[in-house]
Amino acid sequence: MFKKSILFAACAALMATSVMAQDAQRTCSTMDVDARLRAEDPFYAANREAIETFTQNYIATDGERAIVTIPVVVHVVYNVAAENISDTRILEQIDVLSDDFRRLNSDVGETPAYFAGIAADCEIQFCLATTDPSGNPTTGITRTSTTKTSFSTADEMKGATYGHTAWDRNKYLNLWVCDLSGGLLGYAQFPGGAASTDGVVIDYAYFGVTGAAAPYNLGRTATHEVGHWLNLYHIWGDDGTSCGGSDLVADTPNQADETYGCPGGTIRISCTNGPNGDNFQNYMDYTDDGCMNMFTAGQKTRMQALFAPGGTRVSLTTSNGCSGGGGGGTCNVPTGMSTTGVTASGATFNWTAVAGATSYNVRYKTTAGATWTTTTSATASKAVTGLTAATAYEWQVQTVCSGGTTSAYTASTNFTTTGGGGGACVDNYEPNNTSGTAATLSTNVTYQELIASSTDLDWFKFTTTSPNTKIKVTLTSLPADYDVRLYNQSVSQKGISENGGTTNEQIIWNTTAAGTRYVQVYGYGGVFSTADCYDLLISVQSANYREDGSFTVVNEEWDNAITSIYPNPVTGDAVTVDYFSVQEDMNVSVQIVDILGRVVSTTNASVVSGENMIDLSVADLQAGVYIVVISNGKSSYTENFIVD
């Protein structure tokens, strides 16, 4: 479930942030390019119709499928040095594409259970070309300096005047990376267009992982656009909000419009698609990279139709672009993974040797992280060092065969390093399950603590003195979905951080008052670990802390709240609840309860970050005292009102 740290800026900064957020929304111009080609190319519309007929026949007959490996050439077209992205980012992007289309992405666990059953391994993977169209060795990367400072969707980066011409589209996926104007993240050409412009264009700022611009820094812009290149439409059908359009995929819920940001665990219902609502976790929506994690089985079938005999992109299955192409020859995925020799700073990864392997690519990262560290091994094991103590990691391995052919990466194997704090992970300061038994901690010191049972709550207290009254509470190295709350000396809550899964938690309170403060750490839903500690750091300083270096947090920390109910007492048939939400777009449950605790009405409301006016009917209520209860799935907020 997605949850959010509660941090608010001063009004001017908040307004500026809002404008910036709007500018940073995902924008894809594939449908604009589709419309242009229909107007300019006399054959394009007929080609698209023929491809769709073939696709629907393939779906109806459930045609044969095989794992397809697509050779990729990346054309970097740059005007300034920043646009000439590194080989590392390009290699990262190829890995992201393979992971996402093979459902080996590290965030598969973020797919809600109600959509997990339709999530699919699309059996499509990607390799950076090792052979160019003339049969010569290549890195699979071209670099072209251009006099143009930015590009539109007019395809000028695909020509020799300002960019680089396409390689044979029957053997390669052409990816152009350049500076796109107008905040455009990328666009693709659907199957059926001209060979000279066939491929995908991505803005350099959103390509790869390392150094890419958040919140589109996980490589999912390319995943989205390659989905278009493989004949997928936007999941909402590009029909405005009419609910009359379609992405021509049977198992994707009918959806009213695009989804921005990251609604997380929220169920967003539109076009009567309850109870599960929109599939905004789909790569073909407009959510942030961190909120995308799946294709459906229906989308897989639609893409696989392109590679069936007679399919538009079937020639790619026999391409020699990766010196073996097709399904990767006999370069099989490793099996028998195990982790041995785990210490506080290292581990050894092991797997069963693959026949025909010349070497192996190995990558690893913290389970909470987004960036892989990649290395190689000539044998069926790899020892790594430099790891962080008491930290959860995952690793994957890929076979490299003769000619440079590679297999897909394996699924992740997880392990946790030992140590932390110079000794074993223990449950210190117990009993400290209440504010009255809170353990005293020093500030600016990292503590490693344990939540050892489903009922274990860790309470701590600390004292600030002037001028070092500004507070930042940080929770890291989480073994499970742990959350944190910050309280003042009266044990009145000042802030809460409720991020999902093992994502780090943080609360900032820039107050000018000194005194005793309290912190509570707990497992959401009673989760715990008897062996793995979390890290708690309470930082204090005299200057205001900043969030991501972008804006100063105000002097008070806000929480969700029902700020008023009016009219109160109620004399008519309706009442308005003024509800302040710190979460972004989400659904909340709204109940009216009588004084005996009986629920007399229940409804759902869609709320946004900030003030929300929720209108409720009270026409059927008798005179008396009632309670409004608003729940966001983790916390509930109540307020009384009277019906005369």
Distance CA 177, CA 143 (A): 10
284-311 average pLDDT score: 94
Residues 378-406, buried b or exposed e (16+ Cβ, 10 A)? eebbbebeebbbbbbbbbbbbbbbebbbb
Distance CA 337, CA 381 (A): 9
Q: Say if residue 490 is exposed, middle or buried (CB neighbours under 10 Å; 0-12, 13-18, 19+).
A: exposed
461-467 average pLDDT score: 89
Residues 225, 260, single domain; the answer is yes
Quote the pLDDT of residue 13.
30
Residue 39: inside a domain: yes
Residues 244, 342, single domain; the answer is no
pLDDT digits (tens, 9 = 90+) for 405-421: 777 788 788 888 876 54
pLDDT digits (tens, 9 = 90+) for 21-62: 334 578 899 999 999 999 998 889 999 999 999 999 988 887
217-223 average pLDDT score: 96
Question: How sure is the predictor about 552, in pLDDT bands with cuts at 50, 70 and 90?
Answer: very low
Distance CA 241, CA 76 (A): 37
Q: Which of 361, 389, 416 is the last residue of a domain?
A: 416
Residues 446, 530, single domain; the answer is yes
Give yes or no for residue 261 having a pLDDT over 80. yes
With pLDDT > 90 as the criterion, what percentage of the chain qualifies?
40
Distance CA 509, CA 518 (A): 12
599-610 average pLDDT score: 84
Distance CA 236, CA 256 (A): 6
Q: How many domains does the chain have?
A: 4
Residues 241, 308, single domain; the answer is yes
pLDDT digits (tens, 9 = 90+) for 106-116: 888 899 999 99
> What CATH number corresponds to the domain at position 467?
2.60.120.380
Distance CA 61, CA 615 (A): 50
Residue 628: inside a domain: yes
Give yes or no for residue 555 having a pLDDT over 50. no
Distance CA 443, CA 536 (A): 10
524-550 average pLDDT score: 79
Strand partners, 473: 507, 538
Residue 286's domain spans which residues?
A: 28-318
Question: How sure is the predictor about 332, in pLDDT bands with cuts at 50, 70 and 90?
Answer: confident
> What CATH number corresponds to the domain at position 586?
2.60.40.2550
Give yes or no for residue 616 having a pLDDT over 70. yes
Question: How sure is the predictor about 1, in pLDDT bands with cuts at 50, 70 and 90?
Answer: very low
DSSP states of 96-164 as a string? HHHHHHTT--TTGGGS-HHHHTTB----EEEEE-SB-TTS-B--SEEEEE-S-S-B-TT-GGGSTTTS-
Give Cα 329 to chain centroid, integer Å: 33
Quote the pLDDT of residue 541.
86
CB 398 within 8 A of CB 407: yes
Quote the pLDDT of residue 122.
93
Residues 164, 196, single domain; the answer is yes
Strand partners, 358: none
Strand partners, 613: 578
- Give 80 or 387, the one with higher predicted confidence: 80
Quote the pLDDT of residue 286.
95
**Cβ-Cβ contacts under 8 Å for 416 (sequence gap 6 or more):** 342, 390, 391, 392, 393, 479, 531, 532
Residues 487, 625, single domain; the answer is no
Peptide bond into 431 cis (omega under 30): yes
Q: Which of 359, 386, 416 is the last residue of a domain?
A: 416
Residues 392, 441, single domain; the answer is no
Positive or negative: CA dihedral 44, 49, 50, 52 = positive
Residue 118: inside a domain: yes
Residue tagged active-site, from 110, 225, 505, 639: 225
- Give 1 or 280, the one with higher predicted confidence: 280
Q: Where do the DSSP E strands lie in 255-343?
A: 335-340
318-330 average pLDDT score: 60
Quote the pLDDT of residue 56.
92
Helix (H, G, I), strand (E, B) or coil at 609: coil
492-515 average pLDDT score: 84
Distance CA 316, CA 321 (A): 9
Residue 617: inside a domain: yes
Question: How sure is the predictor about 6, in pLDDT bands with cuts at 50, 70 and 90?
Answer: very low
224-245 average pLDDT score: 92
DSSP states of 50-80 as a string? HHHHHHHHHHHHT-----EEEEEEEEEEESS
Which two three-digit tokens encode residue 581?
Answer: 């939400």
Residues 439, 410, single domain; the answer is no
246-261 average pLDDT score: 93
Q: Is 584 a catalytic residue?
A: no
Residues 522, 582, single domain; the answer is no
Distance CA 508, CA 496 (A): 9
Which two three-digit tokens encode residue 71?
Answer: 């050779």
> What CATH number corresponds to the domain at position 379?
2.60.40.10
Residue 426: inside a domain: no
pLDDT digits (tens, 9 = 90+) for 176-199: 999 999 889 999 999 999 999 999
Round the average pLDDT of the chain to a whole number and report it: 84
Residues 168, 49, single domain; the answer is yes
Quote the pLDDT of residue 5.
32
Distance CA 73, CA 144 (A): 13
Q: Which of 527, 552, 577 is the last residue of a domain?
A: 552
Separation in Å, CA 320 to CA 159, 200, 404, 560: 24, 21, 11, 58
Q: What share of the chain is helix, strand, coil (3-state, %, to 5)?
A: 20, 30, 50
Helix intervals (H) in 275-365: 297-304
Residue 421: inside a domain: no
Give yes or no for residue 14 having a pLDDT over 70. no
Quote the pLDDT of residue 167.
96
Question: How sure is the predictor about 547, in pLDDT bands with cuts at 50, 70 and 90?
Answer: low
Give yes or no for residue 324 having a pLDDT over 70. no
Residues 361, 311, single domain; the answer is no
Residues 580, 448, single domain; the answer is no
Give yes or no for residue 83 having a pLDDT over 70. yes
pLDDT digits (tens, 9 = 90+) for 122-169: 999 999 998 889 888 888 999 999 999 999 999 999 999 999 999 999
DSSP states of 341-409 as a string? S--SS-EEEEEEPPTTEEEEEEEEEETT-S--EEEEESSSEEEE--PPTT-EEEEEEEEEEGGG-B-PP
CB 459 within 8 A of CB 439: yes
**Cβ-Cβ contacts under 8 Å for 201 (sequence gap 6 or more):** 151, 153, 155, 157, 158, 175, 176, 177, 178, 180, 186, 187, 188, 225
> What CATH number corresponds to the domain at position 148?
3.40.390.10
Q: Say if residue 484 is exposed, middle or buried (CB neighbours under 10 Å; 0-12, 13-18, 19+).
A: buried
Quote the pLDDT of residue 607.
83
Distance CA 484, CA 534 (A): 11
Q: What is the enclosing helix (H) or strand (E) of 591?
A: strand 586-594
Strand partners, 617: 574
Give yes or no for residue 67 having a pLDDT over 70. yes
CB 375 within 8 A of CB 385: no
With pLDDT > 70 as the criterion, what percentage of the chain qualifies?
90
Residue 132: inside a domain: yes
DSSP states of 196-262 as a string? GG-SEEEEGGGSSSTTPPTTS-SSHHHHHHHHHHTTPPPTTTT-TTSS----S-TTSPP-SS---S-
Separation in Å, CA 143 to CA 161, 177, 240, 279: 14, 10, 39, 38
CB atoms closer than 10 angstroms to residue 516: 15
Residue 11: inside a domain: no
